[in-house]
Amino acid sequence: MRARSLHLPAIARAAAFALVAIAMIAAVLHFHGQSSRVGAQRTKAATAGDPLAAELKRCELIAEQAKDDPACEAAWARNRRRFFTYAPSPRRAAQPKTNGR
């Protein structure tokens, strides 16, 4: 009987898996670094034009001390009001009511 010392299909399969794994790791590292840079740019742009966003960022930076800061409590209340209040859309409010006939 003749013994095969190298099983080429198995070696090729292992090499392919290794290349796919390396490509996935490289993609994750690339996009992770890119997302942190984009996030920092978005934060700077948002806080530059919005005083509420700047105040919320300040409160985020002072962390535990923010719970006792009245300015932070007011900023959080304004932020909650901005997102959790209902205002009918102007288009819907301008439509005349009909009897359904």
Q: What global pTM score does this model have?
A: 0.39
What is the mean predicted confidence (pLDDT) over 15-40? 84
Written as six digits, the tokens of 26 are: 């490289």
Number of residues that this document lists for the chain? 101
Give me the amino acid identity at 32: H
Written as six digits, the tokens of 46 are: 């948002």
Using pLDDT thresholds of 50, 70 and 90, give the confidence band for residue 16: very high
Q: Which of 96, 92, 76 is nearest to 84 (CA)?
A: 76
